[in-house]
Amino acid sequence: MSKFRLHAQATVFVMVTFMLGCNEFMVVGILSDIARHLHVPITQIGYLVTVFAIVYAVSTPILTILTSRFDRYKTLLVFITIFLVGNTLSGLAPNYIWLLVSRIIAASVAGAIISLVMTFVTAIAPKEKRASLVASVFAGFSIASVFGVPIGTAISMRLSWRAAFLVVSVLTFGTLLSLIALLPRHTPQVRGTIIDQLKLFRDRRIILGNLLALFTAATMYGYYTYIRPLLTSGLGFSQGSLNLLLFLLGIMTIGSNRWSGHLAKHGGLNRLPKYYVADMIILTLLPEVLTNKFFGLGIILLLTLMVTLLSSPLQVHLLSIAEHDYPQALVLASSLSSIFFNYGISLGSVTASMMLDVVGLREINFGAAFYAVVALGLITALNKALRQQPTDWET
CATH assignment at residue 304 = 1.20.1250.20
Report the Cα 171 to chain-centroid distance in Å. 19
Q: Which of 172, 189, 206 is the last residue of a domain?
A: 189
Do 185 and 200 fall into the same domain?
no
317-337: pLDDT as tens digits: 887 888 777 777 777 777 788
Q: Reduce the DSSP state of residue 263 to 3 states and report it.
A: helix
- Whether the Cβ atoms of residue 363 and residue 284 lie closer than 8 Å to each other: no
- Whether the Cβ atoms of residue 268 and residue 390 lie closer than 8 Å to each other: no
Do 98 and 236 fall into the same domain?
no
Do 43 and 161 fall into the same domain?
yes
CA separation for the pair 21, 83 (Å, rounded): 12
Task: Tell me if 395 is assigned to some domain.
Answer: no
Do 177 and 219 fall into the same domain?
no
Q: Give the domain range for residue 293.
A: 196-388
Alpha helices (H) along 125-230: 127-158, 161-182, 194-198, 204-224, 227-229
Give, in order, the Cα–Cα distances in Å from 53 to each of 50, 111, 218, 345.
5, 10, 15, 10
Q: Which of 155, 173, 189 is the last residue of a domain?
A: 189
Do 279 and 307 fall into the same domain?
yes
Do 215 and 317 fall into the same domain?
yes
274-299: pLDDT as tens digits: 999 998 898 888 888 777 888 888 88
Do 89 and 132 fall into the same domain?
yes
Task: Tell me if 393 is assigned to some domain.
Answer: no
Do 166 and 220 fall into the same domain?
no
Do 53 and 162 fall into the same domain?
yes
Q: Reduce the DSSP state of residue 316 to 3 states and report it.
A: helix
Do 110 and 237 fall into the same domain?
no
Q: Report the predicted TM-score, pTM, of the whole model to 2 decimal places.
A: 0.77
From the CB of residue 119, how many other CB atoms can be counted at a distance below 10 Å?
25
Whether residue 34 is predicted with pLDDT greater than 60 in this model: the reply is yes
CA separation for the pair 110, 140 (Å, rounded): 14
Task: Tell me if 48 is assigned to some domain.
Answer: yes
Number of domains comprising the chain = 2
Q: Which of 138, 155, 189 is the last residue of a domain?
A: 189
Q: Reduce the DSSP state of residue 1 to 3 states and report it.
A: coil
> pLDDT band for position 375 (50/70/90)?
very high
Lowest average pLDDT, out of 10-24, 144-158, 219-233, 266-280, goes to 144-158
Do 184 and 315 fall into the same domain?
no
Do 174 and 268 fall into the same domain?
no
Task: Tell me if 394 is assigned to some domain.
Answer: no
